[in-house]
A and B are shown apart, each in its own frame.
Chain A
């Protein structure tokens, strides 16, 4: 029932000793990177002064902005020749963060995925359909290699093309899928259109839901419609991608692989570490990554550590389902989007004002982004065609940057709420 029994059920003392060893290595190798090298010099930190896990608090937090500023190679702890793979955070083009892997890094990542999928119950006998985007996005390739490592027949179908997905599920008797939760719900409508009942007409038995925070209710809906067990998975490209924390068969929180990552939960306001069981922002440190070690990375994801041991016998502590974010990042169809990206694009268009509002809606099982934009008075010539053309142009401009197609609505000047202080730019109406 364990992929790596000795690691997964290791005594806490031994696990912590392993973590300390990893931490020391990570800090030492991070010092070789331009970013951490400069930082350590600035704060006068000697990597050899990290002698206990508590000593990690001597190290400043790393943020997404740091990763962007050091773009592209400022975080490398090895020579570029050692790298074999690049990935980037999902979605964004202008503000993407990139992560590099050595061959050993890919091996550990693959092992983490195999461990995670095996933990949820996937076996060699399964047929695995990977319905995630392949390419720079970590969700596709990450799971792909994990599934092959387990030995399951892996179908790299990628995202989209709903009818073909369903046909493949039927034809090749897919038993396990990896899918974005909102897409899983959307796909249920296509099943109905095609007159295919997943419970009756497919052999589906498990699903990995990932790349998008979702609620327990969404999981239940997916489980019910497809007649399978759906497992929550957590990851972020900065920490490889998927394979950071996964649910076991008890589906009560996600085991975070503590031999690979050191976790802290902090109060996002005071930045102080909080006790186990208290909700806060998850902060992660890579313990095994060679190419690009990242120390005390602020994930901006809100969760808490579940201190109680799990019935499954694994000693790696669990975190709760992600509750939300401490920043304004939106996740739509698995794509990360910041309001500032929209603002930046709109500001480049002369005919519109700076005032805009983003509304996220759930229409049936489909998530949409509506962008309301104020038209400048001077631009209006009384022509509907001109407005239509402008609307299309804004849509195309935004689509090129955020990779999903928003519904742009032109509104009258001064009709949107005024921006006083911190503007409310996003209204999220998505509910179960």
Chain B
């Protein structure tokens, strides 16, 4: 399954991220994960949100330069070697990772590793064949990160 990440072009200066988060707050959009990569005077804010299409609309209407980009969100065990299994597989299949980030779903249980790649269809097929769980937007928005509630 494929998920969608929002990428926002932003100049590297105070207030740019604040503008994005305030728009998300006002629009009641939940940010599941966020990373920022910057290069000197400008950068890109990457976000996984619960409603990417609506968030895209809000940001675009506010005049921001936004792109909706397909990514693969893979569920991995949150334990030593959990990530390694996945990466070794991608390596064997010669899949190159352009950008990646991860977040924990349930402490010591589950984590999500999000990868930007150019061979997206191949990656999804390989992961499914190896029984990796991938999340789409709907699944991402439904995930319950509050592990303590299970006690």
Give A contacts to B, CB under 8 Å: 375, 377, 380-385, 387-388, 391, 409-415
Contacts and interface: CB of A to CB of B under 8 A. Distances in A.
Interface in B1-42: 5-7, 9-11, 37-42
B42 A410 contact: yes
Interface residues of B, number: 24
B37 A384 contact: yes
B44 interface: yes
A381 B69 contact: yes
Given A409-B41, A410-B41, A412-B11, A385 B98 contact: yes
A412 B98 contact: no
Interface in B36-59: 37-44, 46
A368 to B, nearest CB: 13
A420 to B, nearest CB: 18
A414 to B, nearest CB: 6
B122 to A, nearest CB: 19
A375 B65 contact: yes
B114 to A, nearest CB: 13
A380 B42 CA distance: 13
B63 interface: yes
B42 A409 contact: yes
Contacts of A381: 7, 67, 69
Contacts of B11: 409, 411-412, 415
Interface string B83-103: 000000000000000110000
Given A375-B65, A414-B63, A387 B44 contact: yes
Nearest to A370: B41
Given A377-B65, A380-B9, A381-B69, A411 B42 contact: yes
Given A380-B9, A414-B63, 8 more contacts: A375-B65, A380-B67, A382-B6, A382-B46, A388-B39, A409-B40, A411-B41, A412-B11
Contact of A412 (B5, B9, B38, B69): B9
Contacts of A414: 63
Contacts of B67: 380-382
B63 A382 contact: no
B41 A384 contact: no
A286 to B, nearest CB: 46
User: Would you list the 7 A-B pairs with minimal beta carbon distance, nearest first?
Assistant: A382-B7, A382-B67, A409-B41, A382-B69, A384-B44, A380-B65, A377-B65
Contacts of A375: 9, 65
Contacts of B65: 375, 377, 380, 412-413
B5 A384 contact: no
Contacts of A377: 65
Contacts, number: 56
Name the prevailing secondary structure of the B interface residues: strand
Name the prevailing secondary structure of the A interface residues: mixed
A382 B5 contact: yes
6 contacts: A380-B66, A383-B69, A409-B40, A410-B42, A413-B63, A415-B11
B86 to A, nearest CB: 23
A383 B63 contact: no
Contacts of B5: 382
A405 to B, nearest CB: 14
Nearest to B63: A414
B64 interface: yes
Contacts of B98: 383, 385
Contacts of A384: 37-39, 43-44, 99
Contacts of A385: 98
B57 to A, nearest CB: 14
Nearest to B10: A412
- Which of B6, B9, B46, B98 has the largest number of chain A CB atoms within 10 A? B9
Contacts of B39: 384, 387-388, 391
A385 B118 CA distance: 13
Contacts of B99: 384
A383 B10 contact: no
Contacts of B37: 384
B24 to A, nearest CB: 17
Given A410-B42, A411-B42, A383 B7 contact: yes
Contacts of A383: 7, 44, 69, 98
Nearest to B16: A412
Given A375-B9, A388-B39, A412 B44 contact: no
Contacts of B41: 409-411
Given A382-B5, A382-B69, A385-B98, A412 B64 contact: yes
A406 to B, nearest CB: 13
A384 B65 CA distance: 13
B90 to A, nearest CB: 19
